[in-house]
Amino acid sequence: MSESLELQVGSALRQKGWTLALGESCTGGLVAHRITEVAGSSEYFLGGVVAYSNPVKHRLLQVPEQTLESYGAVSEETALQMARGARAALIAAPNHLHVPLATECVRRGVSVLVEKPLARTAQEARDLLAEAQARGCTVAVGHMWRFHPICLWIREQIAAGALGAIRQVAWREGREFAWPVTTPGLLHREQAGGGILMDQGIHILDLLRWWLGPLRVTAFRDDAWGGVEANCWWRGRAEDGAEVELELSCTRALPNVCRFEGSRACMELEVDEPKRVRWEGPTAMGVRVEPEQGAATFRALYRSQLAAFVRALRGGGVEGCAPADALATLDLVAESYRIRSPHLFKWQAFRGLVAA
């Protein structure tokens, strides 16, 4: 009895040391299904895109609209363009797998969009970016909040001086953790790289750096006690002297606001969706506060992020969070953990316990 086609393909890929990424249309994902039916196919199969409609072929697989119009969706010319366009991967896995998976991709000439954090440590990120540069691959990082209309609006207002000189920024966000997970990776420091500062805080620090410029941490306290922190308190300073405070929790309800105090006006951002801004002082000039209907959904933000990644693959440059920005934020997180002081609970202080 002869081997199935998927077994033959897998054997050939292993022998040559090649990997496979798919761009499917009429087959509707059937080829990927057949390939992954083979035990051990993860050694050579990277993933695939089911680009059934022409707009998806154009946006995700970079098939030129002219090709689709001239030759049609079911043609050799379109199939060849889809194959070329499939040389990119999206990596959304537990943190400790980001760099190994991304490195394996770029070594085979596959560009990557990596979910935040780019890596567990700044050195891991530097190694990946050096490999990508040597191979001529694009690395983009999934800090999707940079695409949020309100976050863009805040950046514009600060840059325009609508608040005056920023004196203080305080971000307080907390709720009981209820995000659906499929692995325990977030609970293990060696896998996650840290707790709530690495998971949620890295998004916030990226935004704050984007709005205010480079930041320097001056104090950091958390409740990790050997594991990953569920609560943390961060203090730092921007280059212009603005004081920045951050309090995060995945066990307690907090106000979920970010307040900016400037010499001309104050502004308060409700960080939950739908995000809203309350302005105190002279009116913010010329820009609406509320985004268009539907513009702030997770789906819309991911779509904007994917579209930016495709433009980068076409040579347009990385939009949103550039790798250098992600690296600078990882350095900031690493320095925060380095100067960490433990949070003493009341029962610990009462007993006179100290950090190990």
Strands (E), 149-207: 166-174
Domain ranges of the chain: 5-142, 145-292+323-349
Mean local confidence (pLDDT), 282-306 = 65
Q: What predicted TM-score, i.e. pTM, was given to this entire model? A: 0.77
Query: Tens of pLDDT along 141-181?
Result: 999 999 998 999 999 999 999 999 999 999 999 999 888 87
Indicate the pairing of strand 45-50 with strand 215-222. Answer: unpaired
The model's pLDDT over 229-244, given as tens digits with 9 standing for 90+, comes to: 999 999 999 999 999 9
User: CA-CA distance, 61 to 81, in Å (whole number)?
Assistant: 8
Residue 347 has pLDDT above 80, yes or no: no
Structure confidence at residue 296 as a pLDDT band (50, 70, 90): low
pLDDT classification of 355: cutoffs 50, 70, 90: very low
Q: CA-CA distance, 220 to 214, in Å (whole number)?
A: 17
pLDDT bucket at 294, cuts 50 / 70 / 90: very low
pLDDT score of 331 more than 70: yes
pLDDT higher than 90, residue 274: no
Of the ranges 35-39, 181-185, 311-315, 349-353, which one carries the lowest mean pLDDT score?
349-353
Cα–Cα distance for residue pair 95/186, rounded to 1 Å:
8
The contacts of residue 338 (CB under 8 Å, 6+ apart) are none
b/e for 99-135, b at 16 or more Cβ within 10 A? bebbbbbbebebbbbbbbbbbbbbebbeebbebbeee
Q: How far apart are the first and last CA of the chain?
A: 64
What single letter denotes the amino acid at residue 172? R
The type of residue at 127 is D
Of residues 208 and 292, more confidence is placed in 208
Per-residue pLDDT at 293 exceeds 50: no
Coil, helix or strand at residue 356:
coil
Q: Can you give the pLDDT at residue 269?
A: 93
In whole numbers, what is the pLDDT of the chain averaged over residues? Answer: 86
Distance between CA atoms of residues 170 and 187, nearest Å: 27
pLDDT over threshold 90, residue 53: no
- Contact at 8 Å (CB) between 133 and 208? no
Q: Is the pLDDT of residue 354 over 60?
A: no
Neighbour-count burial for 338-354, b at 16+ CB within 10 Å, e otherwise: eebebbbeeeeeeeeee
Residue 100 has pLDDT above 70, yes or no: yes
The amino acid present at 272, given as its one-letter code, is D
Phi, psi of 237, rounded to the nearest 5 degrees:
-145, 140
pLDDT tens digits, one per residue of 247-265: 999 999 999 999 999 999 9
Q: Which CATH number fits domain 145-292+323-349: 3.40.50.620, 3.40.91.50, 3.30.360.10, 3.40.47.10?
A: 3.30.360.10
- Domain 5-142 has what CATH class? alpha beta
Which of the listed ranges 71-75, 123-127, 224-228, 318-322 does the model predict with the highest average pLDDT? 123-127
> pLDDT higher for 76 or 150?
150
* pLDDT > 80? residue 327: yes
Identify any residues that bridge with 350 across adjacent strands, giving them in sequence order: none
User: 3 CB contacts (<8 Å, ≥6 apart)?
Assistant: 11
